[in-house]
Structure 1
Amino acid sequence: MKIKLLILPLVAIVVAAGSCVKNPETPQPDGPRSGSGTVKEMAVPAGFDWKMSRGITCNFASAHLTRVYVASAADAEPFAVVFAGDGAEPVTLNVPVPVKSLYVKYEKADGTFVTKELPVMGATLAYTVPADSKEFVDVAAGAAKATESTTRAGYAGSNRGHILYPAAGWGTLMFEDLWPSYGDYDFNDLVVNYQVDLMMQNKNQAREMFIALCVRAIGGKLPYDLYLSLRGVRPDQIADIKMDDLQNGVQSCDLVKVNSGNSRPAILKFVDIKQNLNKPGGTTFLNVRPGEEMKTGDLTVVSFNVTFRNAISTRDLAFDTFDFFIARDDQQQEIHLAGFEPVLFGADRYRALRTQPTSNANTQSEYYYSNDNLVWGICIPAEIPHAYETRDFLTAYPNFAKWAQSGGVSNTDWYTDAPGNRNPENLVRMK
């Protein structure tokens, strides 16, 4: 079900989150996995990175400065507006794995538009904009900086560029919160439908970043908070963070830097986003149990504008460098998506926790993979519903097993609403 609470120029942005109740004493299975009846029984190949989207570096050339609009389908709204020519940098776009072509559009001098399909064959995409393209003239170039809006709405209307993550709609982050032990793998300890918008000048360098979140469900008592580590950004490169909008949340809700200096990465903490003014009384949990489903209009929605001190190359803000993770201060414990090393409490603390006597203590060098190549967090490039509490993820998304066990080769659209992909009775139905 779509959440349409923020209606802004270029895109409406929303995010959802959830958590589920786990029992840390649940016995863990030993030995190799050969079945696929549950997530913990899947036989996942070594080296599988669990990624459902990929970065595509776009080298767009032009005889003069011009704008290029990029969409993931011929009739879709562009998820990126970038520049070509006159020293504009290449940009890295992030698209779902099933996307086989990108569609670029440019404006001609007579005001008409031309669209061209570009097959995605690898990690790079080259395109030369024809000479009949309209030359971009920066209308703000001669204006005083004081007249330029620093709000997202003002920036969107100033003929600048932007890149959306994900490419269409909302993305979804899903976490299990009992690392290094396995949980029940309903993947609803934290479910975050997110969207990020990089706002750029005409050299394809980012000046601001817009982030929106909507907390959708909380199913556990463990005191984890959501963080974002920007692997390509230093803390001193962030000049300011301001709240853009807040609905149904507490006034203490905020986004703050937790570190400083000139060493990467910059680490941001989402403060009190799990607090919901409309949460039913008498329960710790939110939106994970049958009969307790929330209305979409009652969810906590918050958005922020992050302003950079100077323009930052989009290479340093490619989505593969965005590390959303959860952490709890009381146990100095953090849980990342597969392959991201711990940044808040460090590798020594990670190793101390990882070597506890558990069947998934992982003695390999890769971070946040179990010995059986399972993970505790996944990032989906679409907005999808989360499973009810204690419903194994495979009972909600049966083709998830085929995708994971193939190493990401087959069933790459397992999360979509295509026939056979979902079991609605095991997915939370919003009111």
Structure 2
Amino acid sequence: MNPRLIYRWVLYAAAFVLMTTSCTKDLSLKEVIPDEIKGMSDLQVAPDFNFKTTLQITLKVISKDFTGLPATKIEVFNANPNSGGQLIKTGITNRDQVFETLLILPAHLNQFFIRRTTFNQHVETVTLDIQSENIEYTFSASKSANVFKSTFLGPGCTDCATSIAYALTGKYSLPKDSKVCILVGASFTGELDLNGGTLVVCGSLNLTSLKGKGTVIINNGGFFQAISLNIYDKESAFINYSDAFILSSTFALSGVFENYGTISLSSLNINANGQFKNYGTVTLSGDLNNSNYCFNEGNLTVGANVSHNAGEITNACRLTVNGTLSINSTFKNSSYVNVKTDLNFNKGPLYLSNQSLIETKNFTVNSSIVAEGDAYSKISVSGISRINGGGIFSGKIDYWVENGIETNLGTMGRDIRFDNLYIPTTYCNPGSNLAGGIVIIDTDADGVADEFDAYSTDGSKAFNNFFPSAESWGTLAFEDLWPYLGDFDFNDMILDYQINQITNASDKVVEIGIALKVRAIGAAFKNGFGIQLPIVSSAIYNVSGDFSYTQGIINLNDNNTEQNQSQAVVVFFDNAFKLLPHPGVSTGVNTTPGATFVNPKIINFTIKLSYPIAPEILGEPPYNPFIFVNEIRGREVHLKNHAPTSLATTQNFGTGADISSITSGITYQTEKGLPWGINMVEPFDYPIEKAAIIDAYTYFADWALSAGTSNTDWYKKIDGYRNVNLIY
């Protein structure tokens, strides 16, 4: 590891001075000026820094424009939900159209996303910058159909390996696997070879031909023009954020194309490997031919015909076809489709949802139409309707034919209606029979519409709130030699967690789902694991799950919490080796390179609460986690400055390298402020056996010395951030 030069830093906080005067040992850090940091023993960390990788934000969302109307659904994502962003919080507004909640986010984030869905399926997504611990946002007016166009910004022309700053013509090949930017005011005209790299256009790109695999990004304010565009490589991507995108001839797509801006095309052929995704505005003067995947969450207008030959078309906003729409494969509509002439449904199925609407002049049906959900969707035909023998209607469909069904040889399900029902107006959908009024279905009468409710038949539950998210895990990493110093490889117990705080309509927690994944044991001790919650044991109705008790040291109450505890404690297992058996060689399990790998073990638990509890009271998941060492129940190891349970052996505090002073809140840390456990809000690639974390991760020391204010992404998989030879 390269030595790090650490500059002078001074701690002036009066609160810290008061805190240290009550400690049993002198913790004052008046001035620390180490010349070089070579190992963990050289670190001097602030005693009140808990090695947290998270930040807490109080969020308030106001749906001002829906005052007096039914509640709106609010979802929070850690990134752009249309580019892999993960859902981390869900709830609804109250009678004042206000939603307030506590968010726990990775400390390295600079922004997050909120999405509002109204009772009439009006969907808006906005980006919020993280500038304080209290963030408020007001939805004041309905947006246009192109919500994402004004919300999402391109990456800009920064961090470029090469920049084009002038007018360049001819042939240009990107340096292999590199990022090249055309700066504002600059341009390239000619033949482009991507060569595995990425081209970001903030100026102008006038393309005569394109070859090679790679990515092209037209940034906001950038300009793109070509006669034709052929993307033949399935691993290539073309992403547009601009309103100046002009293509005068055919667009042939075998890779990925995403649009967040405004595009004018002649015609579009989506080939067998092509993926076309629109979140902005696309206007075609000619035909659209699809043979793989077409997704629309913006405004897509086709001047001529649409031939859907294979794959899937999903419409989540507004699709207008001025000619004929021919469907020969899966078609999904959750919003609005308007066909000016003929809709020929030859082969499907055709799925309808979310009070969607299809309007067409003539309609011929030869396959299955399926409506999903409890609210009616509608097909409105102003001209001729022909339902042939293969035509099957099922689910809640209102089939409205102004002049009556001319031919009906098909099958109509029992829920089919012919009543010209009301379909609400949204920013995508103009609605139908608007005099029909507002209909809200709430089966369990909890105040949450069924379309928003994850538990529509259980009035006590409404929303899932996964931490860190439904798609990811956090990681707990422990050293087990407390109160003595170990090797700081933080792999004596590696345990991933995923926690679901199930809330009711009032954003109170009623149930906690806990999934644990035992990944590694870098120790010889038989260690157990549990959590302490900041509530009394009686606040828990019952705990169930995959408990593993084999050592005879755990005593339980009737609700499966641990006995003789002042706060609720749940012990999940008392010997990790029973879940992750030793392979017979090396020290521990899954910490020594080359040793036999043992598949991680996942265990699941459910904590049902006796009454709803506010998330702020429960605190940040995974609450107060701890291990207990080598079959000694009282020898607990918690995260830094977390309280021990009532069963912890107090004689160990202040011995060895530990300087705990429980009455002052200083616990589980060394004289230099180092911990025996850390909590990672994202999956953690832990060090191999005997490799200290400071050697495995380049910026761990900088992060720790700054008390978590700098290098907050130190654990990410980024070039230069880690020594891969020291990570398992």
Q: TM-score, normalised by structure 1?
A: 0.77
Cα separation, partners in 2 of 1:327 and 1:33, compared to 1, 3 Å = farther
**Is 2:42 the partner of 1:41?**
yes
**Is 2:112 the partner of 1:102?**
yes
**Is 2:219 the partner of 1:209?**
no
Equivalent residue, structure 2, for 1:25: none
Equivalent residue, structure 1, for 2:636: 334
Q: TM-score, normalised by structure 2?
A: 0.47
1:385-400 map, 5 Å: 385-400=685-700
Work out which of the residue numbers 354, 373, 379 in structure 1 matches 2:653: 354
Equivalent residue, structure 2, for 1:50: 51
Are the equivalent residues in 1 in contact too, given 2:549–2:573 (CA < 8 A)? no
Cα separation, partners in 2 of 1:155 and 1:317, compared to 1, 3 Å = farther
Equivalent residue, structure 2, for 1:196: 499
**Is 2:618 the partner of 1:322?**
no
Cα separation, partners in 2 of 1:370 and 1:127, compared to 1, 3 Å = same
1:224 offset after TM fit, Å?
Answer: 2.5
Offset from partner CA, 1:125-158 (integer Å, 9 cap, x none): 2233447699995623249xxxx9xxxx974997
Are the equivalent residues in 2 in contact too, given 1:92–1:318 (CA < 8 A)? no
Are the equivalent residues in 2 in contact too, given 1:166–1:381 (CA < 8 A)? yes
Cα separation, partners in 2 of 1:260 and 1:332, compared to 1, 3 Å = closer
Are the equivalent residues in 2 in contact too, given 1:207–1:312 (CA < 8 A)? yes
1:226 offset after TM fit, Å?
Answer: 0.8
Are the equivalent residues in 1 in contact too, given 2:659–2:667 (CA < 8 A)? no
Equivalent residue, structure 1, for 2:667: 367
1:33 offset after TM fit, Å?
Answer: 9.0
1:30-429 map, 5 Å: 34=34, 35-62=36-63, 63=67, 64-75=70-81, 76-86=85-95, 90-130=100-140, 137=440, 139-142=442-445, 155=455, 160-167=462-469, 169-231=472-534, 233-243=535-545, 256-259=560-563, 265-272=567-574, 274=576, 275-276=578-579, 279-281=582-584, 285-294=588-597, 298-319=599-620, 322-328=623-629, 330=632, 332-346=634-648, 349-350=649-650, 352-356=651-655, 358-361=656-659, 365=664, 366-428=666-728
Cα separation, partners in 2 of 1:154 and 1:127, compared to 1, 3 Å = closer
- Of 313-322 and 213-222, more deviation after overlay is shown by 313-322
- Give the secondary-structure state (helix, strand or coil) at the position aligned to 2:679: strand
- Of 279-288 and 98-107, more deviation after overlay is shown by 279-288
Work out the CA distance in 2 between the residues paired with 1:251 and 1:154: 34
Consecutive unaligned residues in structure 2, runs of 5 or more: 1-31, 144-425, 427-437
Cα separation, partners in 2 of 1:422 and 1:334, compared to 1, 3 Å = same
Letter in 1 for 2:539: Q
Are the equivalent residues in 2 in contact too, given 1:93–1:163 (CA < 8 A)? no
Letter in 2 for 1:65: A
1:281 offset after TM fit, Å?
Answer: 3.7
Are the equivalent residues in 2 in contact too, given 1:65–1:136 (CA < 8 A)? no
- Give the secondary-structure state (helix, strand or coil) at the position aligned to 1:43: coil
Work out the CA distance in 1 between the residues paired with 2:481 and 2:581: 27
Work out the CA distance in 2 between the residues paired with 1:90 and 1:38: 44
Cα separation, partners in 2 of 1:277 and 1:303, compared to 1, 3 Å = same
- Give the secondary-structure state (helix, strand or coil) at the position aligned to 1:378: strand
Letter in 2 for 1:215: V
Cα separation, partners in 2 of 1:279 and 1:179, compared to 1, 3 Å = closer
**If each structure's strand is expressed as a fraction of its own residues, which one has the higher value?**
2
Work out the CA distance in 2 between the residues paired with 1:277 and 1:170: 18
Cα separation, partners in 2 of 1:414 and 1:175, compared to 1, 3 Å = same
- Give the secondary-structure state (helix, strand or coil) at the position aligned to 2:694: helix
Offset from partner CA, 1:140-188 (integer Å, 9 cap, x none): 3249xxxx9xxxx974997922322225621111111112211000011
Cα separation, partners in 2 of 1:321 and 1:425, compared to 1, 3 Å = closer
Cα separation, partners in 2 of 1:251 and 1:337, compared to 1, 3 Å = closer
- Of 332-341 and 57-66, more deviation after overlay is shown by 57-66
Work out the CA distance in 2 between the residues paired with 1:252 and 1:138: 49
Letter in 2 for 1:81: T
- Give the secondary-structure state (helix, strand or coil) at the position aligned to 2:700: helix
Offset from partner CA, 1:304-354 (integer Å, 9 cap, x none): 1211122111222231681011124637221111111211335xx43x323
- Give the secondary-structure state (helix, strand or coil) at the position aligned to 1:216: strand
Are the equivalent residues in 2 in contact too, given 1:218–1:287 (CA < 8 A)? yes
Are the equivalent residues in 2 in contact too, given 1:89–1:205 (CA < 8 A)? no
Work out the CA distance in 2 between the residues paired with 1:354 and 1:221: 23
1:40 offset after TM fit, Å?
Answer: 2.3
RMSD (Å), alpha carbons: 3.3
Letter in 2 for 1:301: I
Alignment coverage as a number of residue pairs: 376
1:371 offset after TM fit, Å?
Answer: 1.1
Letter in 2 for 1:67: K
Cα separation, partners in 2 of 1:377 and 1:310, compared to 1, 3 Å = same
1:405 offset after TM fit, Å?
Answer: 1.4
Cα separation, partners in 2 of 1:38 and 1:277, compared to 1, 3 Å = closer
Are the equivalent residues in 1 in contact too, given 2:499–2:621 (CA < 8 A)? no
1:222 offset after TM fit, Å?
Answer: 2.5
Equivalent residue, structure 2, for 1:8: none
Letter in 1 for 2:496: N
1:95 offset after TM fit, Å?
Answer: 0.3
Work out the CA distance in 2 between the residues paired with 1:57 and 1:108: 22
Percent identity, aligned pairs only? 24
Letter in 2 for 1:237: A
1:77 offset after TM fit, Å?
Answer: 2.8
1:260 offset after TM fit, Å?
Answer: 6.7
Work out the CA distance in 2 between the residues paired with 1:136 and 1:100: 39
Letter in 1 for 2:93: A
Work out the CA distance in 2 between the residues paired with 1:251 and 1:223: 12
